[in-house]
Structure 1
Amino acid sequence: MENQHYLRGVQLFQLGRYQDAISYFKKALQEIPEDFNSIFHLAHCYLSLDDLEKSEEMATALLRIDPDDENAYFLLSQIYFSKSEFKKALEFINKAISIYPYEADFFGQKSYIELNEKKYESSLKFANEGLALEPNNKLCLNARVQALTKLERKEEATSTIENLLEKDPENAYSHANVGWSNLENGNTKGALHHFKEALAIDPNFDYAREGMSTALKSKNFVYSWYLKYSFWMSKKSSKQQWVFIIGIYLAYRFSVKLLSNTEYTFLVIPIIIAYLLFALGGWLMESLSNAILIFDNYGKYLLDRDQQKSGQAFLILVSSAVLALITYGFLGNQYFLLIGFALLCSLIPLPRGFLIETRNKKLFHFGVGIAMLAIAFIGPLFISDLMMIGIGVLILLIAFTWLDNIIK
């Protein structure tokens, strides 16, 4: 007779009540300390609750009990995938497949790993291999949709989407996945429909909430172009991204130098502004889009507390900068020009700081933003050369753009 605590834990697990299920699996383990099934479900509970350390601890315990269990290796692959450690995730799923090469979910997992490594042809190959084993496997179908979308094979992606939703029309993840595919293909209306369906099934599904928020933001002309650029760049490898960014910078430098020696010097300033918008847009766009959604009757409810603070900070800084520059225009006092400049520079680190999850990076964003404003507001009390103070703010901004990718 099976352990009653274990059976109750499984019931709660299937209902998605992971925290409650954990207590029953622990009770089951008090009676049978090395019960494989209890440990296995306990590891999955922790994984579902994003407690990856405890989940990994449980999964490692499974291998001590049975070193050749393919599901334990699959579980470890899922854990390392959640940690974005894709090489280890691939190592463990390959081990699972080598032990039992007839499970479609294993190939779906491998397809997702390749997808995140931007190996889209390979991702499609493994999704198809999984579907050859189980034609209606949801993990493989979802992976196939994403791979085909990245490969811009729209007709095949559409066909797979129809198959996916026909087989499982009440799956929130499938609807959200289709929503993101539509969004990447420029079909905002279709994306909104599927995100709405996903949220109707699971109102707390963050993947769908983020998609709905992004789709609403894409109605804004500026953000829609930024989103197209983001999707385009996301398909490129890190090396290709750097080649493109460096190429744009060299083209910008060459254009400015060339125009400076001609009668078309009036074009230099628009080119500089365009380049700065391109270079700094990644830091500005999320906060700008959150500010836009604050005024949307429906979109404002999709913003979490930090996103609201980010949008509010963006609006306050922009409004203050405009007010300072207007005051400078009327009074001609360069102090207000300095304040306006510092406020615009602080738009890069400060509002985005609310969106950062890691403590060190969040402190870095807030620290640099506050330092910029402190230099501008307090600096004139000690230094009479306002130009020098402005250069100090600019140096901080440049340093921020370089260090932001280094600090974790």
Structure 2
Amino acid sequence: MTEMDQGIQLMQEGKLEEAAKYFTEAIEANSEEPVHYINFGNLLLHMKDYDRAVRFYGKATELDGQAATAFYGLGNVYFEQEDFSKARENFQKALQLGLEEADVYFMLGLACLYDEKFKFALPYLQRATELNPDDADVLFQYGLALAQTEQLVEAKKVFEQVLQLEEEHSDAHYNLGVISLFHDDINQALAHFDQALAIQPDHLLAGNGKTQIEKMLAENE
């Protein structure tokens, strides 16, 4: 196991100070190797030391302008700081440099989604689901993007797929309840809100949806 591998393992184990020592030694031994700066950037990102993480990722890109994982790291830093414009820019750069991984498409799609650029989010989230079809979180976000662009029939199918992967997904039930309301299926909406609350009793949106339906039903009696 190389020093770099040991550092990564220590970081994964939560031994951050020991990991920092390994990464520092790796940089001192070979200061022209961009991957060492990327690893240290990943550690700093994990520690939420965003300013220093940007500097280390930036150093990696100075040493190697084709270092796709450095741009991906920068994207994550800006995403965590809710600078979604810069996050998108760096995720797109990582893709352009050949980092064809589900996580990159997913994070780029999320950056668009959180920045309310729903139509732009769709192709990236769709590609993420193609690369990682068994990830309930990826599918759920794709479903949200479909719902936000008023593609409710497709969104319903995706949320149902989420439940096939993760039966106890309260947010999928909530969104299926909302879609049922749009289709004037009050009973089905109530059933989904009830299910969301059974899974997560403090689900405020589902609780509010259920209250509104019960109020409406009471007024029509």
- The answer to whether the superposition gives a TM-score over 0.5 is yes
Deviations 1:277-323 (A, max 9, x none): xxxxxxxxxxxxxxxxxxxxxxxxxxxxxxxxxxxxxxxxxxxxxxx
Determine if contact 2:68/2:98 at 8 Å carries over to the other structure.
yes
1:53 is matched with 51
Aligned to 2:157: 156
- Give the alignment's TM-score, normalised by structure 2: 0.70
Corresponding residue for 1:125? 123
Instruction: Please tell me whether the aligned partners of residues 159 and 172 of structure 2 are also in contact (alpha carbons under 8 angstroms).
Output: no
Q: Is the 8 A contact 1:102 1:133 kept in 2?
A: no
2:7 aligns with 9
Equivalent residue number for residue 61 of structure 2: 63
Tell me the CA shift for residue 183 of structure 1: 4.6
Specify the SS of the correspondent of 2:32: coil
Task: Give the CA deviation at 1:53.
Answer: 0.8
**CA displacement, residues 12-58 of structure 1 (integer Å, 9 cap, x when unaligned):** 22224444422322232232233333321221121122211111111
CA contact (8 A) 1:114 1:120 kept: yes
Stretches of structure 1 lacking an aligned partner (at least 5 in a row):
167-174, 194-211, 229-408
Give the match for residue 187 of structure 1.
193
In terms of mean alpha carbon deviation, does 23-32 or 153-162 score higher?
153-162
Partner of 2:97: 99
Does structure 2 conserve the Cα–Cα contact (< 8 Å) formed by 1:188 and 1:218?
A: no
Structure-to-structure mapping, 1:246-257, within 5 angstroms:
none
TM-score if structure 1 supplies the norm length?
A: 0.41
What's the CA shift for 1:188? 5.8
AA paired with 1:120? F
Asked if the contact 1:182–1:191 (Cα under 8 Å) also holds between the matched residues in 2, the reply is: no
How far apart in 2 are the matches of 1:109 and 1:219? 25
Mapped partners of 1:220, 1:187: distance in 2: 5
CA distance in 2, matches of 1:22, 1:52: 15
In 2, are the aligned partners of 1:124 and 1:143 still within 8 Å (CA)? no
Q: Distance in 1 between matches of 2:62 and 2:158?
A: 42
Contact 1:40 1:62 survives alignment (8 Å): yes
* Runs of 4+ with >6 A deviation: none
Assess if the C-alpha contact under 8 Å between 1:47 and 1:79 holds in 2: yes
* 1:27 matched residue in structure 2: 25
Residues 241-280 of structure 1: pairs in structure 2 closer than 5 A = none
CA distance in 1, matches of 2:93, 2:33: 23
Query: 2: CA distance between counterparts of 1:110 and 1:190?
Result: 28
Aligned to 1:403: none
* Larger CA Rg, structure 1 vs 2: 1
CA RMSD between the two structures: 3.3
Q: Indicate the residue corresponding to 1:75 in structure 2.
A: 73
Amino acid at match of 1:112: L
Counterpart CA distance in 1 for 2:24 and 2:112 is 35
Structure 2 CA distance for aligned equivalents of residues 137 and 217 of structure 1: 22
Deviation at 1:66, TM superposition (A): 0.6
Counterpart contact for 2:68–2:99, Cα < 8 Å:
no
Deviates more, 1:66-75 or 1:119-128: 119-128
Q: Which residue of 2 aligns with 1:216?
A: 202
Figure out how many residues of one structure are paired with residues of the other and give that number. 193
The percentage of aligned residue pairs carrying the same residue is 19
Contact 1:130 1:137 in 2 (8 A): no
Q: CA, structure 1 residues 15+160, in 2 after alignment: closer, same or farther (shift >3 Å)?
A: farther
Distance between the aligned counterparts of 2:105 and 2:142, measured in 1? Answer: 11
TM alignment of 1:6-405, pairs within 5 A:
6-100=4-98, 102-136=100-134, 140-148=138-146, 150=148, 151=150, 152=152, 155-162=156-163, 164-165=165-166, 178-183=169-174, 185=177, 187=193, 189-190=195-196, 193=199, 215-216=201-202, 218=204, 224=208
Higher relative contact order structure (alpha carbons within 8 Å, sequence separation ≥ 6) = 2
Question: How far apart are the structure 2 equivalents of 1:113 and 1:94?
Answer: 11
Deviation for aligned residue 1:161? 1.0
Query: Given that residues 44 and 50 in structure 2 are in contact (C-alpha distance below 8 angstroms), is that contact kept between their aligned partners in structure 1?
Result: yes
Indicate if the aligned counterparts of 1:104 and 1:137 stay in contact, CA closer than 8 A: no
